[in-house]
Amino acid sequence: MAADRAAFRAERVQALPATVMESSGGGKTMPLDRPAAWYASSEARHVADVIVSYQTPAGGWSKNMARDGAQRQPGQPYVAGHTSKAPDSVPWDWVGTFDNDATITEMRFLARVASQAPGAEGEVYRASFLRGLQYTLGAQYPNGGWPQIYPLQGGYHDAITYNDDAMVNIATLLSAIAAGQDDYAFVPPARRSQAAEAERRAVAYILATQVSIAGSLTAWSQQYDPITLRPVGARNFEPDALSSAESSGLLVYLMQIERPTPQIMAAIEAGVKWLQATAITGHAWQKTPQGRALVEQPGAPLLWARYISLETGKPVFGDRDLTLHDDVREISAERRDGYAWYGSYSQKALTAYQKWQNSGVRSGNRPT
């Protein structure tokens, strides 16, 4: 962090107008689903150039930044909401993060553009990607997990983060890099080996943090203390509880491993069993004149509470004042209506589980 700040300070050789970058849905400006030829277009090249310009000295990227505007100029902030005035007083937060798909999306986009520019004109994108890879490898804790923000910033950001699939996104990218195919064929063998080892440690960490209650494996929390490996809370309204959304993402990732070990298969079976047991039937999470509420609706899609208490095994809801409640109607209207307390997000894991079962992996007959 000190090196990053020093690099930013060194850019301030002349006074610049105070500028504040606007926050936006940055992911929409870095599409990953276009035809391969589009990534050779001038439009894609421009986005890639903007991405390169906003790479932090450490090698990562911030979040919620549009990547289709002007390139960053020396002395301009890396982060939405930061000012370019008085660099020593800038709150140095989010300068490199995996939150909200940041860094991983930038790296994937750069790889797509680099694959369409195999000559010298693509070298700047390959070099930026490899710096991003080194940043990602360097941010991994020795135990295999990743913090939400790196360099470490303090507070809950230092916790190992499954929230919003942050760690799943990292591990999935590392798996693709390790394979060295398609967009990632340019990655040197030594770097591919490092990616494979980092993913191996990530899988070991995922297995180690699946919560066991009364001797039975259940699901996962959103965040974990990097030292004790125990679930911890994040924002005031996000408790140290089991999380159905993040657990679903982890299960889908584990089911994509081609040669799962018996421990991986046991983790999948236990996690799916937990999702099945916690599913809510015949209800919907809807807007009502009194605000959002859980209402009866026969035939509605399966629903899950976002958080399940580690102590009671029942849904739990947090508020900004750090209070916990077992009834969503008890929390403030602002939090009740402004957070996804219920959702159908775990259906994806149950659907993937059906395909996983049919693949023959459990009997050892899965095609290779």
Residue in 142, 148, 176, 173 with CA at minimum distance from that of residue 160? 148
* 332-342 residues labelled b (16+ CB within 10 A) or e (exposed): eeebbeebebb
CB 278 within 8 A of CB 271: no
Residue in 64, 72, 100, 126 annotated catalytic: 100
CB 317 within 8 A of CB 325: yes
Local structure of residue 37 (DSSP, 8 states): G
* 257-290 residues labelled b (16+ CB within 10 A) or e (exposed): beebeeebbebbebbbebbeebbbeebbbeeeee
Q: In the Cβ-directed half-sphere of 349, how many Cα atoms lie within 13 Å? A: 28
At position 228, the amino acid (one-letter code) is T
**Stated length of the chain:** 368
Residue in 34, 230, 235, 320 annotated catalytic: 235
The Cα 92–Cα 106 span in angstroms is: 21
| Residue whose pair of structure tokens reads 């999306």 in the numeric block | 105
Three-state secondary structure string covering 79-136 = CCCCECCCHHHCCCCCCCECHHHCCHHHHHHHHHHHHCCCCHHHHHHHHHHHHHHHHH
Q: Which residues contact 99 (CB under 8 A, 6 or more apart)?
A: 63, 148, 149, 161, 163, 164, 166
Local structure of residue 343 (DSSP, 8 states): E
The Cα 165–Cα 314 span in angstroms is: 23
- 9 catalytic? Reply is no
The Cα 178–Cα 278 span in angstroms is: 36
- 126 catalytic? Reply is no
Cα angle, residue 188 at apex, residues 181 and 71 outer, rounded to 5°: 85
Q: Which residues are catalytic?
A: 100, 235
